[in-house]
């Protein structure tokens, strides 16, 4: 579904991502791991147009221009961030509605000439938003301000917003960061449940929690200092000497 080839990101004289390639198939879950500073978030930022990048990006075989913010979301590829991006002065329902991408019949003319169709569409949007909140176990909080939610609930609200957007692909940047063990397990259940749906999205997950990734991912890609050093099934990746060295460092024994 999504193929990125030889992605490169440079900040002045610093090469943050150095020729990384990725194939993400429909309904597949791939983990993107590596030590801090290895370029994981920058790689996602490159795919979503938040930073300029060189290389090739294709979606279903069609070339996608790099460096254009918002383009991937319009094509059905959504993302989350390391810190939940919510409007605290809006209710949970209102926050989720911002993730519904359907802008048909929003003009002033439509409100006069196609009022019945417009109202029908708005009801459909509300139903979709309420379903997304129910999926995220926040159905009873629909009218509560997002600013009053606990941190774990804020994480689930951001996930509900992406769920309402019905994406084909989902890029998750450290979705379990700051969650305790119970909250992390609940997030695994939600993502696994979503993936099993007929229209469940392909997922690329950046995360440091190993158990979280092992429960969800079929394949992992490892970065170090901006370069890809390994990929494969989780057990294969953890046994790779290059990965062990990247996380633990080389061990030398003096004679």
Strand order in the sheet with 219-224: 77-79, 169-173, 202-206, 29-33, 219-224, 227-232
Residue-level pLDDT at 255: 43
Each residue's pLDDT, cut to its tens digit, for the chain (255 residues) gives 899 999 999 998 899 999 999 999 998 999 999 988 899 999 999 999 999 999 999 999 899 999 999 889 889 999 999 888 999 999 999 999 998 866 554 555 555 555 566 667 778 889 999 999 999 999 999 999 999 999 999 999 999 999 999 999 999 999 999 999 999 999 999 999 999 998 899 999 999 888 899 999 999 999 999 999 999 998 888 888 888 887 766 544 444
Residue-level pLDDT at 202: 94
Query: Cα(49)–Cα(9) distance, rounded to whole angstroms?
Result: 11
Arch. (CATH architecture) of 1-76+167-255: 3-Layer(aba) Sandwich (3.40)
Cβ atoms of 15 and 8 within 8 Å: the answer is yes
Residue-level pLDDT at 47: 94
Query: Cα(232)–Cα(101) distance, rounded to whole angstroms?
Result: 34
Give how far Cα 154 sits from Cα of 109, 143, 178, Å. Answer: 37, 14, 11
- Start and end residues for every CATH 3.40.50.300 domain found in the chain: 1-76+167-255
Residue-level pLDDT at 144: 95
Closest CA to 64 of 111, 22, 3: 3
DSSP result, 199-252: TPPEEEEE-S-HHHHHHH-SEEEEEETTEEEEEESHHHHHT-HHHHHHHH----
Query: Cα(135)–Cα(99) distance, rounded to whole angstroms?
Result: 15
Residue-level pLDDT at 109: 54
Strand order in the sheet with 54-59: 14-24, 2-11, 54-59, 62-64
Query: Cα(226)–Cα(48) distance, rounded to whole angstroms?
Result: 17
Residue-level pLDDT at 194: 94
Residue-level pLDDT at 102: 62
């Amino acid at each position: 579904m999504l193929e990125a080839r030889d992605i490169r990101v440079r900040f002045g004289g610093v090469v943050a991502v150095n020729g990384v390639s990725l194939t993400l198939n429909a309904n597949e879950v791939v983990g993107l791991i590596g030590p801090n500073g290895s370029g994981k978030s920058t790689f996602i930022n490159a795919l979503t147009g938040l930073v300029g990048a060189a290389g090739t990006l294709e979606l279903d075989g069609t070339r996608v221009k790099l460096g254009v913010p918002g383009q991937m979301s319009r094509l059905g590829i959504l993302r989350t961030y390391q810190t939940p991006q919510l409007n605290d002065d809006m209710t949970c329902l209102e926050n989720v509605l911002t993730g519904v991408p359907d802008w048909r019949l929003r003009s002033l003319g439509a409100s006069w000439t196609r009022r019945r169709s417009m109202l029908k569409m708005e009801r459909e949007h509300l139903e979709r938003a309420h379903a997304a909140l129910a999926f995220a176990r926040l159905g009873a909080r629909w009218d509560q301000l997002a600013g009053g939610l606990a941190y774990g609930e804020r994480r689930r609200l951001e996930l509900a917003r992406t769920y309402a957007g019905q994406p084909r692909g989902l890029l998750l940047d450290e979705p379990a960061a700051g969650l305790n063990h119970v909250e992390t397990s609940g997030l695994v259940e939600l993502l696994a449940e979503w993936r099993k749906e007929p229209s469940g999205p392909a997922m690329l997950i950046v995360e440091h929690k190993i158990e979280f990734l092992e429960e969800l991912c079929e394949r992992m890609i490892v970065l170090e200092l901006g370069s890809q050093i390994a990929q494969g099934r989780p057990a294969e990746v953890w046994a790779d000497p290059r990965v062990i060295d990247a996380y633990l460092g080389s061990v030398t024994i003096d004679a």
